[in-house]
Structure 1
Amino acid sequence: MIKQLPHFILIFFISCSQLLENGKGPFSFLPALDLLPNSQAPIVISSTPLNEQNAVSPYSEISILFSKDMNKTVTEGSFTLRNGSQSVDGLFSWIDKMMIFKPKSLLSQAGQYRYTILGSKAESSEGVNLIRDFSSNFYVNEDSQQPQLISSIPSTGAVGVQTNTSIQLNFSKAMKLASILTNISSSPQISFDYPASNLSADGKTVTLVLLAPLVFGTNYTLTVPASIQDSSGNTLIKSYQISFTIGNDFEKPNFTEISSSSVANFVATEYVNVSGFEKDDSFFLQFDEPILPSSMNDSVSFTPSVNYTIQDVSTNSTRFRLTPNSVLDIDTTYQIKVSDQIKDIQNNTLVKSYVYNIRVNGPRSRPLWVRGIYLDQANTLQINTGIIASIASDGGIGPNYNLETGTNGFYIYFCRGETLLTCDTTSSPRDLSLQLSSIDFDVRYDFGPNIGSPYLTLPLNVTPLPSDRFLIRTRLFSLAPNPSTYIFTVKGGKQGVIDQYGNYMKQDFNFRFRLNP
């Protein structure tokens, strides 16, 4: 039977083991006992190439000597070799505590190379990590200094830059022109004339020549990226951005006049109807400063749609004439919108959009009307066209009666005006003239005994004064007597009667009549 040890003896042995591990205390004269594993962290004793070494051979290998045996797989995974942002691939080998990395290809790129061991990953064979990361830099070429952008013309923040300016970039070292031209960028995009762009004699200043002028009022940002290289292949120390503004006029242009060939300036009358326009009017637009002519294209619109041409009619691009490609429709209201995308020559847009309602009802742009049908040239015997008129014949023998002897026949009285009631009194100028070839009369049987073959003669112009009236006579033949009823028609619409200005009746004019023998 084993007896339990006294507590003070157990405490004695525990204390002694701690004193032996620490190498301290009254038993330090005893030989050391390897009671616990070695927990000391490994360190990097040396490496090649040396830190900040220049002119390193492009065939070089990277070697790193550790203080302890290392876990090879894990340590290899903690290693990187980079040239700028580019990672370099290679193969690993070991000689005792030294790890060797052989790049798969030559270290041919200029600039800084950097190799790194991550302390959090690399570990000794006992599983103890490096205390901290280890890294070292080297350069393949002798010139390892990175260039900087010293100044530019225009400088960043510049205002009032000319549209045809060249751009100068001044560097601290001689640069590769091709590297600049292929890497530089801008927003909005600037088109450069690459063959005309050049480097100064010392290679430190590049002049970028524009292929097309820059746009007034536009803020441009030129980006000079860190990937641009000097003549030794070193990249810029950082990226640069240069922002500048073309022109110094930022005031929006004002719209000062819109008028037509027949209506004076109505720029202050938006949205309400403006009357008095002729269907063949041109329109004039005036601004308080020069306008970019190209911005006028498609910047004015009509509803209903109208195609037009626009012309600069001033010496300084402040006044433009807009001419519809076809006549406007009479007695129609059009909406004209002047867009705020119209720009001055420094790219400032119009203060706002403008909207106008115009009514095409000028003195020469009013519809035609049949004022009345008469049986005499003096306009004293008017037929009541609101009922079936009963008219006495003046020739022929039944069943074919006529309305044709002497001055008899139908006299159709036309006039031009906004309404039927006012067309005889408001037409001005009083210059109505119809195109005889457009006049189309028709007489046809309507109902009753269907006998006879009615027909009429070609219309004859018998226009009396005043000239705002236009009187046409036509004679009728072979009419059957009452109760046979006929319809007399004056053709209207755009295919009917028209005057010298292209005005027409809105619709056909019809009335019914009977003939008494």
Structure 2
Amino acid sequence: MLINRKEANRTAVCENGNRVSHAPHGYVAILSLKCLFFLFLAPSCSEDDMLAFALDTAPPRVVAAFPPDGMKQMAPDGKVWFLFDRGMDRPQTERAFSLTGPEGEIQGAFEWKGDRRVEFTPSRRLNSGGQYMVRLASSAESGSGKDLKEEYRAHFSLSADTSGPTLLRSRPKHRAQGVAPDSSIELDFSEPVSFSSLENGISVSPSFAYVLSLKDDGSTVVINPNSALSRGLNYDISLTQSIRDRQGNDLIDPETVSFRVGQDSNPEIQSVSADDVQLTAGQLTHGISKDCDLVIQFSEPMEAPSVEAEVDLSPDVAILKSWNSNTDRLTLDPESPLSSETDYELTLPASLTDHSGNEIVNPGKYPFVTNASDSQHPEVVLIQQGLADPPGIVDGAEITRNYRPDPELPDYGIVDTSHVIDVDRDEAGIDQALVFRILFNRDMELASLHEGIEFIPVLNTGSSEIAVHSIQFGTDSNEVLVIASWTPTGSSESPVYALQISTKAKDSRGNPLQDRFRRYLAF
């Protein structure tokens, strides 16, 4: 049953004279089974009685409030108010209310407009800076003792600027070395800051006496030590969220600027290595693995972003760059293995700098070759034809461990087509296949051989046909047996095919053939 909207604001009285609570304008409710049960027990009550009963069983709600969540530029003497969907318990609702600002909870006075609307007036004028939050806990109760359906929260500010300042840069830079003892410290912020907030917002360690000042319209803070800083000491300038802008917004992220006071010097490249192999500037180094990491050790902490941008490896390779905690050791980790047996050159230019902007004194180029034992191309050692037992087209013929010719089957060597095996020995009939033995100088990856080995028709192939049937290892992983299905030509022609191994064929360490290999075979 639906409550009529137009009737929802009436005060209902049962025939027994009991008055029923008001319902909010426009409130529509669907009677629960309890309400239907109430209808049967009290058929003399009106729909307004039923509305009051429905409201009494549901939790109260906030139907309107001011200020709305996210409001900016609220008047400093503005009031906070709530409108509920029914009469509320005043003391319990007031206890559930709170207004907090940058300086903590704000006290004030409540004023009720009936039992459904309450206004809160702060006891003092609100400050223009910072964020405020209005909260009405779910412990607020209706007149019948029902808790608020859900907690209400809203944030607002008196200023249009609600974003706090950030530290943009410092002089000296963070982690700078060799800072002059008579230096002042300058901190550049993203906007002017409140001078009064600096006393609690800045701390120095180890402690020293200083004077604070502002420049550049208040966006730069200058720390002027009263006496020279101590040589050989590391200093930390800590900035807390007590630092605020002129609108009262807190520093977004706490920061610490660290530097070392003492005699400054230019950084040096102490070593460059590829895994455990040392590289030498201007000298080609052999025996480097394609899976190596390149490690550069500097004599002092470096300006990481600029160093990463200037270091170059050629040919170009995608590289992950990482530093140790002291930023004096850079590791270059290629995202994929380098190419096998390839010349590379690592360039470390003079533009590499430390935190104080000092350039390295010994720039250089470090050439190397990826030709370690795990980074060399595999090679074809020989190709032979496998013999069948027995020879001739015989059902069930199998390969033997004998191969011909000795030492190998040369280019345009004659393939003995009488030595065919039967690849479907368990079935009637003969499915002819020739067998070729390929010996590599390295263990091979079987999956890559399926991609890389094929027969290419070259000359007078006629109706003949040869194709890879299967590939398997022999005694070792460098011995490969290619089973090739064979359909002989029906004419007197002598076909020529090429047994081709492409650069897709790789050894067990992922090194591909350097060049495409072909062996021409005559039949």
Instruction: Tell me the TM-score normalised to structure 1 length.
Output: 0.46
Instruction: Tell me the TM-score normalised to structure 2 length.
Output: 0.46
